[in-house]
Chain A
Amino acid sequence: MIFVFKIFTYSKSYGILNTHFYGELILMAEKSVSNARLVLRLLTSGYTVISGIFLTHACITMYLADAYSRESAASALSSCLIVLIPAVLFAVAGLIFEFITDSKIDDTPNRKDIKSILTRFASKKDITECDPELTSLIKKERKRRKIRTVSLSVLTAVSSAVFLAYSLNGNNFSADINTSVIGAMKLLIPCLIITFAFAVYTVYRNEKSIFNEIELLKKAPNGEMTENAEKCDGFYCREIVKVVLLIVGTGLFIYGYLSGGIEDVLTKAVNICTECIGLG
């Protein structure tokens, strides 16, 4: 199919076969290639996810059976081959297919930044010269966005404060490290979920609000574009900070090196602390 498609496209580009009939065939071929690409990508995705699940399941099974050994690991891996091999084959097939059909890995564009669109749009409009009702609607949208953003900041600050207060209380961390960390996670995860959920809500509501504002601004008259006053870009401040930090870093490094700080780094690096690499 791909070969036929190639023949037709080359023929078309050289004007050899330039009839309506062959044009239709080319379109059909293009659609088939596109469908084939989609199917191959979906199969690769599916097998990738299933492989991950199979391997994790095998590991959990070995743990629950208290049967970790080289032999059981080899046996688990061989039983996962039934999904691993197709996953690898589809991945390779996908790469070859897309090489032949000239497609790129990311053929859809990223989302555009709505805020920057609003900023550029708003700079061309003069809301002071428009209808008072329109102005109040625009200001209302801006106020709502500000309230949501401030609420999110407050929620983030409160969550952080709660969690930091918990973490800085040494009584919450006992000699049983795993239990202490799990206990801390029981507080951290809900805080994160709540903050994340509100952040997502805020972002999407604000986006909707920005779209509304753009629609409202379209009704506003054009204003004179004011040139932004030349801002101090802080170039020399940044360069000074760079050099100072470089000197401080070098100083710390040399002091730490000469004071014997390297011994501890070397000890940890040349000995295997098994739990530190998850062997436990």
Chain B
Amino acid sequence: MNKFSEKIKRLIPSKRKLFQLYAALLFNANAKGFITGNIFKGNSKQMCVPGLNCYSCPGAVGACPLGSLQGSFSADRSTLFYVGGILLLFGIIFGRTICGWMCPFGLIQELLYKIRTPKIKKSPVTRILSYFKYVVLVFFVFIIPITYAFRDTPLPAFCKYICPAGTLEGGIGLLSNEINASYFSMLGPLFTWKFALLMSTVVACVFIFRMFCRFICPLGAIYGFFNRISFLGVKVSESKCTHCNLCVNRCKMDIKHVGDHECIGCGECIGVCPTKAISWKSPIPFMRNETPEKEAKKDNKTAKIITRSIVGIILAAALISTFVYAWNDDSQSGITPPEQSNASDVPDGEKPPLGNKVGDLCYGEDLPTVSPDGISAEDTFNPVKTGKITVINFWGTWCTPCVNELPYFDRIATEYKDTVSVVAIHTNMLSDTAPEYVKNHYAASDIVFACDNSTEGYYGLLGGRGTYPYTVIIDENGIIKNIFVSSLHYEELKTAIEEITK
């Protein structure tokens, strides 16, 4: 009976596993997103979550710290201070205990490791490999984004070329919903590369404990710098330590000492130490040791139960309220098309159907134009009443592929000046960055730059669902001929236009 009850106890997840699961649910509380196939657009995304959690995951309710950091290099200085401050706070308070207790991708890796296969144990080789994440940090998180930031091109290189969490949670998370079936048309070499990388990571994590955390994750590399001085984590009492190294031998991470930059603060070494030299750090600064009174208080069972109950209630309340907030948030659909006076009977789910007259979908509202001098509400433009073939491109200065494809639109605008009107409509969000960008790069361009209204109305009416870039081509009669949900090359644009002009 004892053995059986021990077996049953082994089935119960540990406190750390429960907390990891809790964190994963809390950071991905937007259950509605998995049903609608849309990402959450509420204000909670102003705040970064501590762990690696892609903000393009349909369930994500917070921003990814790594994605935000890379994006901040091409943004205003205040963004860099804001994200830098968040990372500094997370690092100094938690250190790498975030990896051990709060990272959803870390949880996925640990669950994969539970599959019963022969395992590759840590060795001097894995210790050497653990330094590779610093190379990834320096090159993909700093050098490339900063280099391209000087070219006014935002480029989150780690997210784009490496991050398997983004591929799994964001890419596959969105593709798996049939509402996003049109996204398949944009898949190409990048997705193939990232999918191969994701599969390699998943398979490797079955054999190697937390392979991604140990060898690749730049976020862990950043938090690792703070491990020795963080408020939370594990510490070793030098007076009690006999240097038997049982803790290091037991640990599955590539640590040299408990609490160094590789330690994820899982606490498994605490039970292994024969002299009880390892313990949790005191979160109160300047408190070296627990006083005897405090040690005695710890043994008080009633106090423990009460404290745990209160903490449990608070955590449960936080989780439930986050779920409810995300479910009820109306900005979910993000883009709310305004009412139209002349709307035809096109069913909502079919807007905008190819072949429909755009006038049936779009109201005749003029959009403010963007020029090197600024955004002008007086000097307006109506993208659907040009009388020519109109290429409407929805873009943003914050969006890498948008910025990369603009030169092709510029070329088309110049070459087909008489027959084609090219309109580039910037998102309402961060529209104040558009004039300077236009001034620096497209001051003499034939492209007409405009700015969408406050609810991204035009974008929504023409079928946009949150992905950028997004291009719609309308013929002279106002009929929608093509819709592209991915970035375009010059040849693709040219082919599309020539098919219309035939």
Q: Which residues of A contact B (CB under 8 A)?
A: 40-42, 44-45, 48-49, 51-52, 55-56, 59-60, 62-63, 68-70, 73, 91, 94-95, 97-99, 102, 105-106, 108-113, 116, 119-120, 163, 167-168, 170, 173, 175, 177-178, 181, 184, 188, 192, 196, 199-200, 203-204, 207, 233, 235-236, 238-239, 241-243, 245-246, 248-257, 259-280
Contacts and interface: CB of A to CB of B under 8 A. Distances in A.
A264 B430 contact: yes
B92 A242 contact: yes
Interface stretch (B19-27, B346-354, B396-404): B396-404
B116 A274 contact: no
B117 A41 contact: yes
Nearest to B485: A274
A60 B192 contact: yes
B86 interface: yes
Contacts of A249: 85-86, 88-89, 91-92
Contacts of B174: 272, 277, 279
A238 B235 CA distance: 13
Contact of B231 (A73, A120, A242, A252): A242
Contacts of A254: 85
A253 B115 contact: no
Nearest 4 interchain pairs by C-beta: A256-B82, A252-B85, A261-B82, A253-B85
Contact of A268 (B7, B85, B398): B398
B207 interface: yes
A169 B222 CA distance: 25
Nearest to B182: A70
B474 to A, nearest CB: 22
A192 B46 CA distance: 37
Nearest to B140: A181
A175 B122 contact: no
A233 B238 contact: yes
A255 B139 contact: no
Nearest to B56: A277
Contacts of B248: 113, 116
Interface string B183-194: 111111111111
B135 interface: yes
Given A63-B189, A111-B124, A269-B60, 11 more contacts: A51-B203, A98-B116, A105-B119, A110-B249, A261-B72, A261-B83, A265-B71, A266-B63, A270-B429, A275-B487, A279-B183
B114 A105 contact: yes
24 contacts: A48-B117, A52-B199, A56-B196, A73-B184, A120-B243, A177-B404, A249-B86, A253-B86, A256-B80, A256-B81, A261-B81, A263-B430, A269-B64, A271-B396, A271-B427, A272-B39, A272-B466, A273-B398, A274-B469, A274-B487, A275-B190, A276-B156, A276-B166, A280-B189
A256 B192 contact: no
Interface of B: 3, 7, 10-11, 39-41, 43, 45-46, 48, 54-56, 60, 62-64, 67-68, 71-72, 75-86, 88-89, 91-93, 113-119, 121-125, 127-129, 132, 135, 139, 143-144, 147-148, 150-151, 153, 155-157, 159-161, 166-167, 170-171, 174-175, 178, 181, 183-196, 199-200, 202-203, 206-207, 226, 228-231, 238, 243, 245, 248-252, 256, 285-286, 288, 331, 334, 396, 398-401, 404, 407, 427, 429-430, 466-469, 485-487
Contact of A275 (B71, B121, B160): B160
Contacts of B400: 177, 273, 275-276
Contacts of B79: 256, 261, 263-265
B115 A48 contact: yes
Nearest to B193: A278
B112 to A, nearest CB: 9
Nearest to B144: A181
A274 B468 contact: yes
Contacts of A239: 285-286
B231 A270 contact: no
B116 A280 contact: no
Contacts, number: 352
A124 B191 CA distance: 59
Contacts of A207: 124
B423 to A, nearest CB: 19
Given A116-B243, A203-B125, A245 B54 contact: no
B160 A276 contact: yes
Nearest to B431: A267
Contact of B184 (A68, A116, A188): A68
Contacts of A188: 135, 139
Contacts of B64: 269
A236 B288 CA distance: 9
Nearest to B209: A106
Contact of B78 (A98, A255, A266): A255
A239 B48 CA distance: 26
Contacts of B427: 267, 271
Contact of B191 (A44, A168, A259, A279): A279
A116 B256 CA distance: 10
Given A44-B117, A259-B81, A272-B466, A267 B396 contact: yes
Contacts of A113: 245, 248-249, 256
A103 B76 CA distance: 56
A260 B433 CA distance: 13
B101 to A, nearest CB: 19
Contact of A196 (B128, B189, B203, B286): B128
A70 B191 CA distance: 14
A136 B41 CA distance: 70
B68 A40 contact: no
B118 A265 contact: no
A269 B494 CA distance: 32
B156 A262 contact: no
A249 B88 CA distance: 5
B82 A252 contact: yes
B114 A95 contact: yes
Contacts of B230: 242
A94 B113 CA distance: 13
B92 A52 contact: no
